[in-house]
Amino acid sequence: MKKNKRKSKIKISRVIIFLLFLYVIISSIYSFFNMKITNIVVLNNNYLKDQEIIEIAGLSNYPSTLQNGSRRIENKLRNNVYIKYVNVTKQRFKTVHIEVIENRPLFFYSPTNKTILLDGTSVEEVFPIATVLNYIVDSVYDDFVKELAEIDVSIARRISEIEYSPNNVDASRFFLTMTDGNYVYINVQTFFKLNRYLEIIRNFPNQNGVLYLDYGNNFEIID
């Protein structure tokens, strides 16, 4: 009888150990699959705020990291008109890095009262950017958007107003009003010269004038 009791106690102990082991395994699996995102880092954004990007990505409640893989987050963000490119990586499962290239606003187009973005898309929202004052003919418009998109952002921010100003010689000529009080004549073929704007005007300290980049790079001082 004593041997039977001892065997029963051993069997019960083994069952209890097995159940405890099973409980630990199940708890570990459950905890793993419900592991929460604890930190989100957003990089390279200027026009979209960090919180806006987090909300678009569906991460505002810091959900499960396994149920929100990098590809899934990227797909959500790519659907936003202001995001041109996005790369999502995870570090130690719980930290999410979101690196974006924004489809940034290029100019406000007065004829349509809309903002034109880097890829040519138009939106209703208004930003503190250059204003195109008048209508640009279709044969010039696409090239204008393409060339302006190539201008360094720091230079583009110095443009206050853009006027389409063709003449008998040049159908793609523009007149730019700069925020520093200077003016620039330029055309679609010479837009790239605008990246040297600061280098050129540095030769004329404390003087305002008209910079002719459509032909040459002459600077005419305004008295």
User: Do 161 and 190 have their domain in common?
Assistant: yes
Q: CA angle, corner 27, sides to 25 and 31, nearest 5?
A: 120
User: Do 136 and 187 have their domain in common?
Assistant: yes
| Domain tally, the chain | 3
User: Do 185 and 98 have their domain in common?
Assistant: no
Residue ranges, the chain, pLDDT below 70: 1-34, 223
Phi, psi of 211 (to 5 degrees): -100, 120
User: Do 118 and 206 have their domain in common?
Assistant: yes
pLDDT in tens, 81-109: 999 999 999 887 788 999 999 999 999 99
Q: Which residue range(s) make up the domain with 23? A: 1-33
User: Do 15 and 79 have their domain in common?
Assistant: no
List the CATH number of the domain containing 206.
3.40.50.10960
Rg (CA), the chain: 30
User: Do 128 and 89 have their domain in common?
Assistant: no
Distance CA 179, CA 187 (A): 19
Hey, CA dihedral for 153, 155, 161, 165, is it positive or negative? negative
User: Do 85 and 130 have their domain in common?
Assistant: no
- Residue type at 78 in one-letter notation: R
User: Do 20 and 53 have their domain in common?
Assistant: no
User: Do 79 and 113 have their domain in common?
Assistant: no
Tokens encoding 183? 């003016």
**Terminal Cα distance for the chain, rounded:** 118
**pLDDT score recorded for residue 23:** 59
**pLDDT score recorded for residue 207:** 86
pLDDT in tens, 127-142: 999 999 999 999 999 9
- Write down the pTM of the prediction: 0.79
**pLDDT score recorded for residue 114:** 97
**pLDDT score recorded for residue 110:** 97
**pLDDT score recorded for residue 80:** 94
Asked if 210 and 200 count as a contact pair (C-beta separation under 8 A), the reply is no
**pLDDT score recorded for residue 140:** 96
